[in-house]
Amino acid sequence: MAKGLDIDHLAKLARLNLTADEKVLYSNQLTQVLTYFETLAKADLPAVSDVAMVVSEKALRSDEPGMSLGSDAVTKIAPASHDGQISVPRVVDDES
Amino acid sequence: MAEEIYQLSATEISSRLAAGKLTSRAVVEALIARYHQLNKKIGAFTSLDEKDVLAQADASDARRKTGKVLSPLDGIPVAIKENIAVKGQPLTCSSKMLANLVSPYDAHVVEALKSAGAIIYGRLNMDEFAMGSSTENSAIQKTFNPWDLARIPGGSSGGSAASLASGLVPLALGSDTGGSIRQPASHCGIVGMKPTYGLVSRFGLVAFASSLDQIGPMARTVADCELLLKVLATPDARDMTCFDSTQRSQLPVATEKSLRIGIPKGVLGKGVGAEVAAATQAAIDFYKSKGATIIEVDLPSSELAVPTYYVVATAEASSNLARYDGVRYGHRSSNAKTPIEMMTNSRSEGFGPEVKRRILLGTFVLSAGYADAYYVRALRARSKIRAEHLAALEKVDMILSPTVPTPAFKVGEKVSDPLQLYLEDIFTIPANLAGLPALSVPCGKSGHLPVGFHLVGAPLSESKLFAAAQLFESAHSFANQQPTL
């Protein structure tokens, strides 16, 4: 089952840069772990799962207004901000 | 009896405070002195704001003078793992990613402790984002086992366990996703409980694997552990999986009727160290001598627990940790021209090797073409493991096993072998997958290293587990132990 492990594709999906050494290391370690996971493939398991969560979820709580952090507290911990807003590198190019 | 302040249990401190024989300031001053003497050697605390904790102690002493004591925990220091939010304090998760993050709010458990008058005392080291079983994955510092400084304290709540075992604090909070409270508790000779999933609010706990994570109490005695849990376990609408007061009113209480203890078939066999097996067998024999009925239980899917856990936990982690993108908080790479570069570079610079490994694994098991083979099958295995445990717990009150197969290993011994490290959690993982309460209780030594046994109960049977643990603790001399340092 470990076949198909494409470390470049995974790194791209996970938004991680890996060095050549890291690619070899993680490929080997993940293959070893996935080989160990093969007991799951062979096991006799129920056709459906009844647990994504182990307690029943109260899907919605009552919609009551309350205090939130406020923009000062939020921008204070942001890596970069301007005029009470979080700033990031340019997302949309100029029209040309 | 222990006489130095740092050797006292929280229960003892509480009664001395109530009797006017001790002040909270005296307790905090003694612990600060101990911190200066030992923390560099042990590496348990990542930070301690001395001025702040002394001010909290003075406020508690002032309340006591005017008869306004808030709870039995009033004036007692509780140290907090680095992944639980305390307003105005670092919330690093022992990661470079959050190295400069100061929490803008309190976790529910911290609010509860403050309402009880407890002193929020310092931050504790951990494996980065709670991923690990040795606290070697911390980006801040290493933590060492107080019983043998060449060995790991366990993890991920290694700072919590080591701080208790070295007398740096009487109570601590940990978090447990696959054994992160119980495994270090066993390695450091203390008591640690993972409550029933939903008993303690996760609001303000930095998410690792949300369907498995629980905050829990750690202490040097069973009574202290129970005292702390009572304060933590209150309803909170901000965590949708947290039980409301109606569900809590059904909490069973411990009864006097004789215990039925289940022992999983072959649990002391392959892979379990001889002295760990002997200490666990001695605990079983003790319960038998006290009139307990010992019943062998069959949990055939236990062999699936470790792979199931690592699929579910890494899948959830890869999703939860997607939030660290350098945008709103945490590390932002200074070397990025586009938003995608900013995200990728920030994550690559901020996360350590184990976190990257688990994100990659979780990304794989959720990726197109593989999710059915791994993630969906793991959810089915999880259902089966839960069903088998619940069926066994209809026949017995609790299931007993070792907490960890072997005692604490040497620092560096398993760093390059993640699979070996994952097997540390073989006995603790099923309780997380099934959402059941479980605790580790000290029960002897392997050489000079502590060993614990593990009890798992039915949902919300915490008080039964504490009562059984108390029965064992009272008849032995493993409680409130500290090595000479």
Place of tokens 């495994």: B183
Number of domains in chain A: 1
Residue B199, classed as helix, strand or coil, is coil
pLDDT bracket for residue A55 (50, 70, 90): low
Q: At B388, which amino acid appears? A: E
Distance CA B37, CA B39 (A): 6
> Does residue A12 sit within a domain?
yes
Does the beta carbon of B381 lie under 8 angstroms from any beta carbon of chain A?
Answer: yes
Chain A residue at shortest CA distance from B357: A26
- CA B408 vs CA B105, B155, B253, B397: distances in Å: 35, 10, 34, 29
> The domain containing residue A37 runs over which residues?
1-44
pLDDT for the residue numbered A52:
56
Q: What is the pLDDT of residues B278-335, one digit of tens each?
A: 999 999 999 999 999 999 999 999 999 999 999 999 999 999 999 999 999 999 999 9
Contact B348 A17 (CB under 8 A): yes
On whether the CB atoms of residues B467 and B259 are closer than 8 A, the answer is no
Which of B407, B409, B413 lies closest to B440, judged by CA? B407
> Does residue A86 sit within a domain?
no
Best to test chain A binding among B199, B328, B354, B389 (most A CBs inside 10 Å) = B328
Q: Does the pLDDT of residue A1 top 50, yes or no? A: no
> Does residue A30 sit within a domain?
yes
* Catalytic-residue membership of B180: yes
Q: Does the pLDDT of residue B5 top 70, yes or no? A: yes
Average pLDDT score over residue span B123-150: 97
> Does residue A94 sit within a domain?
no
pLDDT for the residue numbered B420:
78
Give the residue, A52 or B75, on which the prediction is more confident.
B75
Q: Does the pLDDT of residue B393 top 60, yes or no? A: yes
Chain B residue at shortest CA distance from A46: B380
- A65-69, B212-216, B243-247, B374-378: which range is least confident on average? B243-247
Q: Does the pLDDT of residue A56 top 60, yes or no? A: no
Q: How close B351 gets to chain A, by Cα (Å)?
A: 9
Interface of B with A in 121-160 (CB under 8 A): none
* Catalytic-residue membership of B333: no
CB neighbours of residue B294 within 10 Å:
15
Which of B456, B465, B463, B466 lies closest to B436, judged by CA? B456
Contact A69 B104 (CB under 8 A): yes
Residue B403, classed as helix, strand or coil, is coil
Does the beta carbon of A32 lie under 8 angstroms from any beta carbon of chain B?
Answer: yes
Does the beta carbon of A50 lie under 8 angstroms from any beta carbon of chain B?
Answer: yes
CATH number of the domain that A36 lies in? 1.10.20.60
**Which helix (DSSP H) or strand (DSSP E) does residue A38 occupy?**
helix A38-42
Does the beta carbon of B371 lie under 8 angstroms from any beta carbon of chain A?
Answer: no
Does the beta carbon of A24 lie under 8 angstroms from any beta carbon of chain B?
Answer: no
Chain B residue at shortest CA distance from A29: B418
> Does residue A10 sit within a domain?
yes
Average pLDDT score over residue span B208-232: 97
> Does residue A70 sit within a domain?
no
On whether the CB atoms of residues B360 and A26 are closer than 8 A, the answer is yes
Average pLDDT, chain B: 95
Which of B9, B14, B24, B81 is labelled catalytic?
Answer: B81
> Does residue A49 sit within a domain?
no
Which of B94, B156, B186, B302 is labelled catalytic?
Answer: B156
Domains in chain B, please, with CATH?
Answer: 5-257+469-474 (3.90.1300.10)
pTM of the model: 0.96
Quote the longest CA-to-CA distance of chain A.
60
Does the beta carbon of B366 lie under 8 angstroms from any beta carbon of chain A?
Answer: no
Q: Write out chain B residues lying below 8 Å of A76, CB-based.
A: 104
Q: Does the pLDDT of residue B441 top 50, yes or no? A: yes
Q: What is the pLDDT of residues B245-284, one digit of tens each?
A: 877 776 666 665 689 999 999 999 888 999 999 999 999 9
Q: What is the pLDDT of residues B173-183, one digit of tens each?
A: 999 999 999 99
Q: Write out chain A residues lying below 8 Å of B340, CB-based.
A: 15
